A and B are shown apart, each in its own frame.
Chain A
Amino acid sequence: MVDAQRWRRYLRFWGSNADADVDEEIRFHMEEETEELVARGMSHAAARDEALRRFGNVNHFRRECRSADERRLGRERRTENLSVLVQDLRYALRSLRHNPLFAGIAILTLALGIGANTAIFSVVNGVLLKPLPYREPDRLVTLWETMKTADQITINYWNWMDWRQRQRGFEDITIWNPFGAFTMTGNGAAERVRNALVAGNYFQLLGVRPALGRLIEPGDDSPSAPRVVVLTYGFFQSRFAGDASLIGRSITLDEIPHTVIGVLPPAVRVLNRDAIVPLGPEVAANPPRFARGNHSFFGIGRLKPDVTLDRALADLQRVSAELSVEYPRENTGIGSNGQPIMDTLVGRIKPALRVLMIAVGFVLLIACANVANLVLSRSASRQREFALRTALGAARGRLVRQLLTESLVLSIAGGALGVGIALAGVQLLIALDPGSVPRLTDITVDRTVLLFAVGVSLLTGVLFGLGPALQSGNSAPVNALKEGGRGAGAGVARQRTRAVLTVAEVAMAVVLLAGAGLLLRSFAKLTSVDPGFEPANVLTARVTFGGGTKYQNNEQRQAAFDALLARVRAIPGVTHATVGADLPLESNQQSGVTFEAIPVVDATKRPMLGVVVVDPAYFETLRIPLVSGRHLAASDRPGQPRVILISESAAKKFFPKGDVLGQRMNQGDGSDPSRWFTIVGVVKDTRTNGLTQQPRGTVYMARAQEEFRTGWLMVRSSVPTEQLTASLRSALAEVDPNVPLALVSTMDAALAEYVAEPRFSMLLVTIFAGVALLLASVGIYGVISYNVTQRSNEIGVRMALGAQRSDVVGLVVGQAMTMSAAGVAIGVVLALWGSKMLSSMLFGVGPRDPLVLGSVAAFLILVALAAALAPALRAARIDPTVAIRAG
């Protein structure tokens, strides 16, 4: 009994025990009360009963006392914790203030890592994670038609009508075409307005609400409905200054008045269009353009809630099969397919974003390793401080907590600065906009991004802080004090940790540099691709002599183009001018063709060739050489036999014996006798489908022998192209003041657009790799340099025993080489293993390109050598007498 009490008192010394206290208190009360009653003459038993009676229900009151105590103690503990935190924080801030260089470098390093991650995450968030501005976007599916020779073709209007009637997997299907343009007149100078045609159910299906007025509805689709137009927010703001009174008023598009019925919200952009019109009236005005067999629309379906994508697509394919049977002439071999709308929008950019996210993740890891290195070397010099505090009674947990607090202060400061870097970085990213990143305007540093930054900061702090903190808490105080602050005991373990961290840094830097090297090399290959024509000094602009009443027939349009070309060629400085239906890198029109001399085996696998209608001067202007035969000539007029030129690779493919000249080709299946052409010449290939795709084979038709209402004016000049724009405009105005000169650009700029996206990824990964390299070399330098300081005594002894200075340099450099060689080896293995991820972004270089990997490895070894050289020379200058005496 006495022992138990003494034990409890001993325990109480370490902290109060609420339960035992209450019990002891009540027992004391009972004893006192009983004694008092006995003193008044009661028997002991009676007195005890009376005391109990007066006390009431013991268990009940004991419970009340205990719970009150527990609440009080809990609060006290929380207050104490908070005050410890405040104390730790104050201490951390003081100790960092005393060491501003350390704090500055650590915070800056972390800020770089966290900032880069936050910036890239804001892109990922904006592009991939933010929901689309539509109702239940997860159920939206993009749809298209397929052919045996093409995975993806646009949809025919009448096929769509039948889809809507017969399919069962989608709530509804809509179609749209974003490639039209109107000439807007009546508001100052004639202006080109990019339009999209949409079906009446388009906005209902997407679930979009107007910012102003109303949007296009099914009723607007009827052929007799009045002409209406909806403006996109950007166009409404930039062209009409956001004037709300425009709603209900009329604007003139292609000489037809259209009533402005509404404006789209800012978040909803229909590609880069300005104006949206219902397609019903367009179809009614020009039925042949939309006849079965002509494909011109993109499709979007909304899945029924309980139907899977696969089932809905299979059902749609069933409808397509029915249509192939019902309309064999137009629909043989035509199928249908689709994918979630998000995949269509961002599918292409996803691999690049994934690579960027991994790259910045590596940068952050390297930053962590570096700061951990710094903290470790700092904690080595603070060893005596910790030992002293431990000896004076600080618990190990308290020390660990203290060090962790310091790390978190660093990482949060780094995070705050990092958000600043991210804000600037996002501006930079938007400025670098390759034009191919979808939804780029959705990228902002918003709450999600800030939460991400806070999370990354905290994680970072724990990541680089916990290891060093635990290690410092571990060291035995006696040793540390005895070693006089040199810390050789715990120092060995610490040194090993630092070496491992450095090896990891080098390995990650190798991976990043390898990625950057591959992208750089691929970019170099891409920019050195010969497009097949000379883009320098060529100005391009789009001209349409089309809509309205002025141009009734092809002759009038052709005459307008003739007049325009004559005036342009007369401009001083212009050496050549031509028009063509497409620019060379983006020939859109493809056609199934039949060669008279080649028998048709399978009607569904007819050869496909690009078809470009051009003015004869096209080849001279773009400097595309003639291989054999003759050029198109002014004499190839209507009424004369139709002639074409064919590109070299197509000529070789279809006529390997070289007998191509004079061959006859039909555009189509041979059934239309008016579409027979004679091949009169062969020209060199040009890239027709971007820079990376092999030329797919093209035939060039003479403008004078074809319908020609819209095309690209291409002008080669001997003066800088910028000076030409005004002269071109006035030349066009002389021909027709109501026709705008649209999309004025240079061929060089058009070419640059094709390399913009690879340039974007290459630039970013290179920047990240540069940061990684910098951090890794700082890491190597830090470790080697610290090691030299630690071993100066030993080096002194060696030198006193006869070691040469060159031996000392060799010793130190050798250590650096061992670490970096290990890092490079691991890095190369990692790079080989992960390189597949890059393959979709590479052009003309394999993901395991030995040249890139070899030079990266050699480069890093060189950098490590350079980083180790300064400390090595310092070691060589050590004066043995001084070093040994100091030890």
Chain B
Amino acid sequence: MTNDLLQGTLDVLVLKALSWGARHGHGVARLIHQTTDGDFEILDGSLYAALHRLEERGWVDSEWGLSDKGKRARFYSLTKRGRQQLRLETATWQRYVTSVSKLLTAATVPV
């Protein structure tokens, strides 16, 4: 997999993780590891890099707050533009998956 594709995929996963509400970096990591059942080997560091990159692009916003255990933590949330981006990426991803699976499950040689 090329680096771009990997990064793009990571970005979508992070955006998705934030779509249910603001979360700190560790929370994002936990969510992604749990929902993907450890299918991907994702380094936590790369998630942080993705969060900062997304903030630079204006898709997420960050704010310091307190974690549920009362520690200072940096919380990330989706911006309006981030939400739009997530919708766009999801749609693109689904179109891609549909066409790839159509081809892979085709019974006859396409004319």
Contact = CB atoms under 8 A, between A and B. Distances in A.
Contact of A69 (B26, B30, B52, B73): B52
Nearest to B71: A28
B45 interface: yes
Given A21-B74, A32-B26, A69 B46 contact: no
Interface string A17-54: 00001101110110111001000000000000000001
A55 B26 CA distance: 11
A31 B73 CA distance: 11
Nearest to A33: B26
Contacts of A33: 26, 29, 44
Interface in B37-94: 43-46, 48-49, 51-53, 55-56, 67, 71-74
Nearest to B41: A54
Nearest to A18: B52
A65 interface: yes
Interface residues of B, number: 21
B64 to A, nearest CB: 8
A598 interface: no
Given A55-B43, A68-B55, A68-B56, A61 B48 contact: yes
A28 B73 contact: yes
Interface centre among B24, B55, B56, B67 (most CB of A within 10 A): B56
Nearest to A21: B74
A71 interface: yes
A68 B49 contact: yes
Nearest to B49: A64
A63 to B, nearest CB: 9
B20 to A, nearest CB: 19
Contacts of B73: 25, 28
A60 interface: yes
A29 B29 contact: yes
A84 to B, nearest CB: 21
A21 B73 CA distance: 10
Contacts of A29: 25-26, 29, 44, 48
A58 interface: yes
A25 B48 contact: yes
Contacts of B48: 25-26, 29, 61, 65
Contacts of B52: 22, 64-65, 68-69
B80 to A, nearest CB: 17
By size class, the interface of chain A is 20 to 34
A249 interface: no
Nearest to B45: A61
Interface string A749-776: 0000000000000000000000000000
Given A28-B71, A31-B71, A61-B49, A71 B56 contact: yes
Interface centre among B45, B49, B71, B73 (most CB of A within 10 A): B45
B26 A58 contact: no
Contacts of B44: 29, 33, 54-56
B9 to A, nearest CB: 17
A293 B65 CA distance: 103
A490 to B, nearest CB: 43
Contacts of A61: 43, 45-46, 48-49
A871 to B, nearest CB: 60
B39 to A, nearest CB: 15
Contacts of A25: 25, 48, 73-74
A72 interface: yes
Interface string B3-27: 0000000000000000000001110
Interface of A: 21-22, 24-26, 28-29, 31-33, 36, 54-58, 60-61, 64-65, 68-69, 71-72
7 contacts: A24-B72, A28-B74, A29-B48, A31-B71, A56-B46, A65-B52, A69-B52
Given A56-B45, A61-B49, A65-B52, 15 more contacts: A24-B72, A25-B73, A28-B24, A28-B71, A28-B74, A32-B26, A33-B44, A55-B44, A56-B43, A58-B45, A64-B52, A65-B48, A68-B49, A69-B56, A71-B56
